[in-house]
């Protein structure tokens, strides 16, 4: 055990460099090697100029690194370096495949620590000034994604919650809208679509559930979709839109 390094699973947050935690930034500055997601920005990687950087991105519809390969790289690098960072967009423990990486490291007898990050849903709520909960309107929130492991069926139950937040929204959000309408959700239910949360090219679109069911403009970055009556624009936000 003493011959092995320690691995830190660190959440980079939604993208902006100054939204990573102080602990995360401090560890990045000390890391010998950083295995990072495709969604981690170049600006974020400037925090670890001394480190060997290994891209292990996973992007839908694009060539990406298999999870088993990432797991093995983490184990191998812990055998070569004392401080290894696995840098993930958002928070490692939410849609970050942390369970698979934790299992691989624990089975290899490698010490591992998780450093939380700001998950995209919370960053999106802040960026749009749109609370996910609202007294008398929404007291429950569900985060979900359409992505599933290959061994599981693609069809998943829709969460039952006042506010729904769909990660990796894009085309999958259109299917979500169709299903929600079929289940009786009001067509005028407010929807906020946000692309590239917290980045200079951030884009916010306010539409309805019925409009979402008819499609979204092509996106050039990660998309998050927030649905529910808590998403209703306040009077001064009415001018916001596509």
Reply yes or no on whether the pLDDT at 129 is more than 80: yes
Confidence of residue 156 (pLDDT cuts 50, 70, 90): low
Q: What is the pTM of this model?
A: 0.88
What is the C-alpha separation between 152 and 89, in angstroms, rounded? 24
Reply yes or no on whether the pLDDT at 237 is more than 90: no
In three-state secondary structure terms, 111 is strand
CA atoms within 13 A on the CB side of 218: 1
Confidence of residue 18 (pLDDT cuts 50, 70, 90): very high
Reply yes or no on whether the pLDDT at 144 is more than 80: yes
Q: Which domains does the chain have, with CATH numbers?
A: 6-115 (3.40.1010.10), 120-237 (3.30.950.10)
What is the C-alpha separation between 99 and 122, in angstroms, rounded? 22
What is the C-alpha separation between 95 and 11, in angstroms, rounded? 11
Residue by residue, DSSP assigns 199-235 as: STT-EEEEEEHHHHHT-----SS-EEEEESGGGPPPG
What is the C-alpha separation between 33 and 73, in angstroms, rounded? 11
Dihedral over Cα of 66, 72, 74, 76: its sign: negative
Reply yes or no on whether the pLDDT at 202 is more than 80: yes
- At residue 59, the pLDDT reads 57
What is the C-alpha separation between 198 and 79, in angstroms, rounded? 36
User: What are the tens digits of pLDDT across the range 158-185?
Assistant: 888 999 999 988 888 999 999 999 999 9
The CB density around residue 188, as the number of other CB atoms within 10 Å, is: 12
Reply yes or no on whether the pLDDT at 122 is more than 60: yes
CA atoms within 13 A on the CB side of 228: 24
Confidence of residue 154 (pLDDT cuts 50, 70, 90): low
Distances (CA, A) of 174 to 121, 148, 151, 169, 230: 18, 17, 24, 8, 20
Catalytic residue (choose from 53, 58, 162, 240)? 58
Q: What is the mean pLDDT of the chain?
A: 91
Is 58 an active-site residue?
yes
What is the C-alpha separation between 64 and 214, in angstroms, rounded? 30
Residue 71 and residue 108 in contact, taking contact as beta carbons nearer than 8 Å:
no
Reply yes or no on whether the pLDDT at 147 is more than 70: no
Reply yes or no on whether the pLDDT at 114 is more than 70: yes
Average pLDDT value for residue range 189-210: 95
Confidence of residue 57 (pLDDT cuts 50, 70, 90): confident
**Crossing angle of helices 67-78 and 98-107, rounded to 10°:** 40
- At residue 224, the pLDDT reads 96
Question: Tokens 């698979």 map to which residue?
Answer: 100
What is the C-alpha separation between 98 and 123, in angstroms, rounded? 20
């Amino acid at each position: 055990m003493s011959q092995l390094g320690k691995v830190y699973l660190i959440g980079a947050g939604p993208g902006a460099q100054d939204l990573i935690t102080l602990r995360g930034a401090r560890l990045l500055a000390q890391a010998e090697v950083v295995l990072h997601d495709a969604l981690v920005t170049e600006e974020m990687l400037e925090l670890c100029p001394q480190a060997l950087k290994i891209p292990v991105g996973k992007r839908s519809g694009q060539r990406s690194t298999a999870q088993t390969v990432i797991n093995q790289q983490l184990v191998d690098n812990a055998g070569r370096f004392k401080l290894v960072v696995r840098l993930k967009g958002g928070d490692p423990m939410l849609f970050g495949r942390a369970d698979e990486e934790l299992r691989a490291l624990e089975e290899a007898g490698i010490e591992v620590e998780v450093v939380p990050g700001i998950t995209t849903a919370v960053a999106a709520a802040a960026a749009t000034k749109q609370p996910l909960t609202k007294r008398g309107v929404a007291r429950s929130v569900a985060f979900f994604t359409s992505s599933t492991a290959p061994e599981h069926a693609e069809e998943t139950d829709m969460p039952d919650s006042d506010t729904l937040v769909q990660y990796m929204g894009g085309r999958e959000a259109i299917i979500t809208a169709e299903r929600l309408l079929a289940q009786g959700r009001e067509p005028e239910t407010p929807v906020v679509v946000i692309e590239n949360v917290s980045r200079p090219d951030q884009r916010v679109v306010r539409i309805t559930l019925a409009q979402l069911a008819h499609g979204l403009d092509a996106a050039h970055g990660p998309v998050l979709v927030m649905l529910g009556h808590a998403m209703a624009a306040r009077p001064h936000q009415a001018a916001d839109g596509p």
